[in-house]
């Protein structure tokens, strides 16, 4: 089976790896180069908290699968399972966190309660956590992924099985017949049995062009990377208005928990990053006044109801889509499940909640202001009409 994958971020790389492992003839088309877009300008937090129901189960399975995949690829040094920490110091945030914990723990996510003193003594001596009357919560199964080297490892393993990766080639259009699909790029025409749209925030424009209207919103995010600091941080940390995590070599990657609606200019991004650094400073020892080394602006693809969009386009059975937030958390497992569907020809019930058909049927409620990490956010997969078809057990 000849398959063209559009996009070489973490989602496309995972699909290339899993499809090639099943014997498919795969070519990946990337407009710039692998990992150039959202995948390597994101916070890259492996998480399942703040979600509920079958979607939380899927995310938890996805976290565990990354560790399985890391062992297979010799990549245990880039999939980090040190956990996440949520610090709260007020009634509203603590109450909201308790709701999230109740939902995600029901799906199987483990959590622990810590005091500030014990956490700083036993786990993170370079954090500065004032004592609080509210529990500090640690999710030991969460963690972080280094997306750039993981994309490289997945694609290299796929290339060893014959996958071709073509960079600097933009897809201009897609044509389809009842049995084949034709992909027109900036330099050539490719005929294939199947094509997969996995180019993140650029997916909507490409699909709109061929008459497939799916609600894929875009949301910019600004993160900063510090200079090397004399600290040793292990966990992903959410505290106050910021979240931060280790980035290697003593560097810290940090972002804000509020969200911009428009892509900032370079000057705006720099200013925003400096403001973020001031908010991070009180939480970390030895954090100086001018610690911003790099500013990154990423654009996230956000499906209209907050859930992934995965599977065949109904009007075009030879065309599939895989767009989601968070691609970092989900892409390993989703790549495996979708590759199985494409090669075997059987729908996987674990993906039943995420089909593009739900939007075309008008069966879901769209969310105009979806902030994936905003206070109080919780996403639940709606039960399908026949609940007996849904598995998703951890």
pLDDT band at 394 (very low <50, low <70, confident <90, very high): very low
Q: Where is the domain boundary, 301, 334, 357? A: 301
- What would the mean pLDDT of 128-141 be, rounded to a whole number? 93
The pLDDT value recorded for residue 161 is 98
Residue 139 within a domain: yes
Instruction: Give me the mean pLDDT over the 352-377 stretch.
Output: 67
Q: Are residues 234 and 122 in the same domain?
A: yes
Same domain assignment for residues 246 and 365: no
211 and 224 both lie in a single domain: no
**Do 6 and 116 fall into the same domain?**
no
Within a domain: residue 152? yes
Average pLDDT, integer, range 291-305? 94
Q: Tell me: do 157 and 280 sit in the same domain.
A: no
Among 303, 218, 306, residue whose Cα is nearest residue 263 = 218
Does a structural domain hold residue 70?
A: no
Please indicate, yes or no, whether residues 236 and 296 belong to a single structural domain of this protein. Answer: yes
Give the mean pLDDT of the chain.
Answer: 90
How would residue 314 be classed by pLDDT, with cut points 50, 70 and 90?
confident
Question: Which among 359, 341, 349, 356 is positioned nearest to 384, based on CA atoms?
Answer: 349
Q: Which phi and psi (to 5°) does residue 87 adopt?
A: -105, 125
Is the same domain home to 285 and 153?
Answer: no
270 and 330 fall within a common domain = no
> Where is the domain boundary, 276, 301, 326?
301
pTM of this prediction?
0.91
- Please state the rounded mean pLDDT for residues 170-198: 95
- DSSP per residue over 318-346, as a string? EEEEEE-TTHHHHHHHHHHHHHHHHHH--
Domain that holds residue 374: 2-61+147-215+304-389
Beta bridge partners of 3: 26, 194
Is the same domain home to 228 and 356?
A: no
CATH number of the domain that 171 lies in? 3.50.50.60
Non-local (6+) Cβ contacts of 301 within 8 A are 38, 200, 201, 203, 204, 216, 217, 218, 323, 324, 325, 327
Q: Reduced to 3 states, what is the DSSP secondary structure of residue 75?
A: coil
Q: 201 in a domain, yes or no?
A: yes
Tell me what pLDDT residue 368 has. 56
Residue 391 has pLDDT above 90, yes or no: no
Answer yes or no: do 224 and 132 share one domain: yes
């Amino acid at each position: 089976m000849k398959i063209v994958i559009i996009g070489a971020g973490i989602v496309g790389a995972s699909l290339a790896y899993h499809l090639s492992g099943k014997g498919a003839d795969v070519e990946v088309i990337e407009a710039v180069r692998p990992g150039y877009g959202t995948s390597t300008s994101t916070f890259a937090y492996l998480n399942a908290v703040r979600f509920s129901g079958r979607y939380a189960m899927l995310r938890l399975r996805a976290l565990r699968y990354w560790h399985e995949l890391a062992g297979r690829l010799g990549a245990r040094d880039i999939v980090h399972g040190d956990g996440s920490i949520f610090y709260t110091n007020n009634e509203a945030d603590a109450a909201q966190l308790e709701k999230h914990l109740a939902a995600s723990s029901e799906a199987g996510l483990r959590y622990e309660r810590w005091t500030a003193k014990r956490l700083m003594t036993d786990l993170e001596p370079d954090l500065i956590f004032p004592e609080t009357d509210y529990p500090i919560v640690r999710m030991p199964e969460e963690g972080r992924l280094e997306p750039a080297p993981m994309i490289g490892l997945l694609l290299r393993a796929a290339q060893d099985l014959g996958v071709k990766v073509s960079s600097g080639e933009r897809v201009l259009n897609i044509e389809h017949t009842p049995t084949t699909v034709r992909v027109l790029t900036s330099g050539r025409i490719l005929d294939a049995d199947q094509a997969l749209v996995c180019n993140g925030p650029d997916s909507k424009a490409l699909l709109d062009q061929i008459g497939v209207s799916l609600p894929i919103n875009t949301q910019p995010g600004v993160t900063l990377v510090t200079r090397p600091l004399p600290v040793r941080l292990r966990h992903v940390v959410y505290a106050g208005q910021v979240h931060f995590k280790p980035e290697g070599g003593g560097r810290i990657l940090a972002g804000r928990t509020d969200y911009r609606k428009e892509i900032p200019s370079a000057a705006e991004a720099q200013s925003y990053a400096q403001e973020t650094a001031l908010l991070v400073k009180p939480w970390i020892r030895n954090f100086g006044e001018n610690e911003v080394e790099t500013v990154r602006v990423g654009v996230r693809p956000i499906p209209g109801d907050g859930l992934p969009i995965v599977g065949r386009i109904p009007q075009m059975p030879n065309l599939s889509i895989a767009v989601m937030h968070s691609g970092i958390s989900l892409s390993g497992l989703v790549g495996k499940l979708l590759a199985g569907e494409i090669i075997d020809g059987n729908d996987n019930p674990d993906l039943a909640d995420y089909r593009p058909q739900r939007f075309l049927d008008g069966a879901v409620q769209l969310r105009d202001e979806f902030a994936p990490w905003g206070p109080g956010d919780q996403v639940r997969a709606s039960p399908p009409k026949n609940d007996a078809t849904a598995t998703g057990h951890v």
